[in-house]
Amino acid sequence: MPLWSQAAQPASTCDNTPAWSPCELVFELSPAAAAAHPDPYATVELRAEFRSPGMRTYPMPAFWDGGRRMVLRFSPAEAGRWEYRLTSNVAEWDGLKGSFDAAASDAPGFVRVANLHHWATTAANRPHLWMGANEMRFARLEDADFRALVDARAAQKFNHLRGLVLGEGADLGFLGPGSPDLAHFQRLDRRIAYINSKGLVADLVLAPSPAALLRLLPDAAARRRFLRFLVGRYAARNVTWQGLEEFESAAGARALLAEVGDLLKQLDPYQHPRTTGARITSAPLLDDGWMDFVAYGTADAAVGAIEHQLYESPGVALAQEGGAGPRPANPVAGAANSTANDENAGFRRRLWNASMNGQYPTYSSTGAGARFASSPGAKAMTVWFDLLSTTRHWDLEPYFDLDGGRALALPGVDYIVYIDRPGPVELTVEHHGYDVYWMDPADGTVTARRKWSGQHFTGEPPDRYHDWVLRLEREGKIEGMNRSYKFESREVPVQEIVIDPAKVPYEIEQPSGALTAGRATHYSVKVKRATRASRAMLWMWTAEIAADHEGYRVLATAPAGDFTLPASLAANYPATALLRLYAINGYGTVYMMAKGFDCNQ
């Protein structure tokens, strides 16, 4: 039996809670404790250490929920007898103990990193095919609109919904300094619970920008209080933490995110995956040790293609819907490629090129709410999910032994090729028998399967009016392999970068002389050896001012043009900037050349 005084007894119990479902232990401050703590959000500290039947400990902070009410929200991670002990600066609670029995459940558990670049669930240890939808103001939609949106996304097979916890202006989430808007967070409670109930993970972005976060939480103590409050409310649910909507706009953002990320890492007993949103890439922050995955905001395939080969972390890319002109209803036979006239071709390029980079997609619609849910982009996302769910996606990695497209493969088993601008495709595979078919990525229409055996596949898509997906699937092999979901079962090809100048097939031609932050600068590269591989080269120019520890910024992804060094790259000028030029060739080899420049503002 729990060892409680009558005054300290919780108003609820966790008995018979199914594993991976949240329950609540609710405590009311006594009149004496309430007098000592007139602002419980700021001053009451309450934490429980929950110990599992398997003797694993989960330290969970409580959160203030108005008046004298403090809540411990917890999801038991396995069935059986759980014990817990309270630690608190409220004397009548400190040291008290209790226990409850959790029921068995077939819930999959929370999402986690698997196979370095992929995802799985904690309880069932099953692969997780991340497909997200962006709805930044989900907490502010009308109730009926919100539910209709989540229902639509679940029906379209999305399994993540991303949105802001805090905002700006009317969306703040705080009534004043140090006073969270409880109505906002109680609404957020209900909405995250509803998102989870429909099988979606809630991807929680704390604030739009560094400036927005600092306006609400101006000092380290305020940020720690808020993150303890946030983890207490939402760590017991299926969530990911995503820092800021973007961080690159302000000097000092890296240190701010490192502080926030480290606090989330310390406070969250479930270790939900952590990252931050980015205009380009959050990979510059990986060295700080708090991030589990990289988020991409750029539509440029080069950044993700190169960074996938460098980092042992999953990547999630934001794909914004949009493109040019309507898809031709009755294309003229023999006409030139009409992909450019397809209103959603640009979106599909971003989606499928991100996938060919080994990233997982988060979709962003052209507007907010349920009325924008049934768009061509959402349909293309479902098509993507339906295809990838028939693969061993947790084993797929970018594949380079081809011409005429970009590919993912589990060599000898499955090859997925995206053909952006249709034409001849040549693909070298392991010598086996394969089922071969083509798919229209706009609507999922597939051609008849045909048998093919060999090592060197050549072919063309059914027409040249739009982009296509080609699949070569080894006969019967995937079904047999899927009897096991073993992870870490193949070597993941993270590369050593080629930096020897004698082996790097290019050199930095421009810029020359000092750089000025905020001013356009011409850049260009000179390819020293033109080969078949160099014709398919993808480029990434980055700059870093190491003395100020802001991390690098991606400046450009072309062999020549103009870039502008952002002023937020450093807090102090003049400085020394290290310019790096990365490239990945058609065979998947990554090169890097670096050059130092004086930098002024």
Q: Each residue of 512-525: pLDDT tens digit?
A: 889 998 899 999 99
User: For domain 111-328+344-389, which architecture applies?
Assistant: Alpha-Beta Barrel (3.20)
Count of C-beta atoms within a 10 Å radius of residue 493: 15
Domains 23-102 and 506-600 are alike in CATH topology: yes
Provide φ and ψ at 261, rounded to 5°: -65, -40
Q: What is the pLDDT of residue 11?
A: 58
pTM for this predicted structure: 0.93
Q: Which of 104, 97, 99, 84 has the alpha carbon at shortest distance from 17?
A: 104
**Which residue numbers in the chain have pLDDT < 50?**
1-7, 323-341
What is the β-pairing status of strands 201-205 and 239-241?
A: parallel
pLDDT tens-digit readout, 301-346:
999 999 999 999 999 999 888 744 333 343 333 334 444 446 688 8
Q: What angle do CA 164, 167, 173 make, to 5 degrees?
A: 95
Q: What is the pLDDT of residue 591?
A: 95
Q: Specify the length of the chain in residues.
A: 601
Q: What is the pLDDT of residue 6?
A: 46
Out of 1.20.120.720, 2.170.190.11, 3.40.50.10490, 2.60.40.10, which CATH number does the structure's domain 506-600 have? 2.60.40.10
Out of 2.30.30, 1.10.3470, 2.60.40, 2.60.120, which CATH number does the structure's domain 398-481 have? 2.60.40
Spatial contact of 205 and 243, defined as CB atoms under 8 Å apart: yes
Six-digit token pair at 29? Answer: 């401050």
Six-digit token pair at 267? Answer: 């406070």
Q: What is the pLDDT of residue 1?
A: 37
Q: Which of 297, 263, 294, 306 has the alpha carbon at shortest distance from 278?
A: 297
Q: What is the pLDDT of residue 445?
A: 96
Q: What is the pLDDT of residue 332?
A: 36
| Structural domain spans, the chain | 23-102, 111-328+344-389, 398-481, 506-600
What's the CATH number for 23-102? 2.60.40.10
